Amino acid sequence: MNAIAFEHVKKTYRGGLLNRHGITAVSDVSLDIPIGSVFGLLGPNRAGKTTLVKMLLSLSQPTAGGVRRFGEPASQRHTLGRVGYMHENHAFPRYLSASEVLRFYGGLSGVPGENLDRRAENLLERVGLADRKNEPISRFSKGMVQRLGLAQALMNEPDLLILDEPTEGLDLLGRQLLRDVVREFKQSGRTVLLVSHVLTEVDELCDELAVIVAGELAFRGKPAELTHNGQLTLEAALKDLYLKGAK
């Protein structure tokens, strides 16, 4: 069984006068991501990556095709409790403290009430925010909010962790923390989907990659396959794919 499966997925957004015109964000993408893997999702801006993630999180429905989480249709929302999601730009209520944020979002994720305080305390210690746990987020730097976002994504002890540009604003120690979390997920047989433009981390962490260009799947395989076993840098190989897709 796969952690994620996109089956001939298409997504068209309607617009214009009387919704007569459509913009296709994703066109017939089929992609499966096995349980226990660290999988990278790459592509230029407006390639369709965000649309795929939204459909995976049941925030958007495909125009055609199907999306599955752990073998179940994404429309069956009970599997969302097994997913943790870290966004690059968090919209936490800034008047809440770090502890309050984790308890609130943990409750939304289905964490039992008796476990909320313990998990929040442990995760704040893990991400280096234990000494600031009672301060309002309005006082936090970008990097501190990112660390809190990682803790929030881990509150429900997910089997699938989706990281969307997770290193934005993180310092050197924060990036190392994130890499450690990804490696722990892999070692424990859980799954990570990494959406990133930071190619060094993608190359270092990911077992496989998928490259989306102009709404279509342009490549799926190991990083070494994309770079022809080191004959090209990952940057050069991606640039070639992006240019071909733009034609």
Please provide the DSSP assignment of 132-181 as one string: GTTSBGGG--HHHHHHHHHHHHHTT--SEEEEESTTTT--HHHHHHHHHH
For 108, the token pair is 């939304």
Segment 120-145 mean pLDDT: 95
Q: Determine the pLDDT at residue 156.
A: 94
| Other C-beta atoms lying within 10 Å of the C-beta of residue 96 | 16
pLDDT band of 217, cuts 50, 70, 90: very high
pLDDT at 246 over 70: no
**What domains can be seen in the chain, in order of their start residue?**
2-246 (3.40.50.300)
Q: Determine the pLDDT at residue 150.
A: 97
Q: Determine the pLDDT at residue 137.
A: 94
| Other C-beta atoms lying within 10 Å of the C-beta of residue 25 | 23
Most confident of 7-16, 145-154, 196-205, 236-245: 145-154
For 198, the token pair is 């930071």
pLDDT at 142 over 60: yes
Instruction: State pLDDT tens for residues 65-107.
Output: 999 999 999 988 889 999 999 998 888 999 999 999 999 999 9
| Amino acid at site 214 | A
**What is the pairing mode between strands 64-69 and 2-15?**
antiparallel
Q: Determine the pLDDT at residue 12.
A: 93
Which strands make up the sheet holding 21-34, listed edge to edge? 21-34, 2-15, 64-69, 72-73
pLDDT at 162 over 70: yes
pLDDT at 4 over 60: yes
Q: Determine the pLDDT at residue 213.
A: 95
Segment 9-31 mean pLDDT: 83
Whether 52 contacts 59, CB under 8 Å: no
pLDDT band of 245, cuts 50, 70, 90: low
Backbone phi and psi for residue 37, each to the nearest 5 degrees, phi listed first = -105, 160
C-alpha 242/C-alpha 194 separation (Å) is 19
> What percentage of the chain exceeds 70 in pLDDT?
96
Which strands make up the sheet holding 83-86, listed edge to edge? 83-86, 160-164, 191-195, 38-42, 208-213, 216-221
Segment 207-226 mean pLDDT: 94
**Which distant-in-sequence residues (6+ apart) come within 8 Å of 127 by Cβ?**
147, 148, 150, 151, 177
Mean pLDDT of the chain: 92
Quote the pTM value: 0.94
C-alpha 230/C-alpha 212 separation (Å) is 21
> What percentage of the chain exceeds 90 in pLDDT?
78
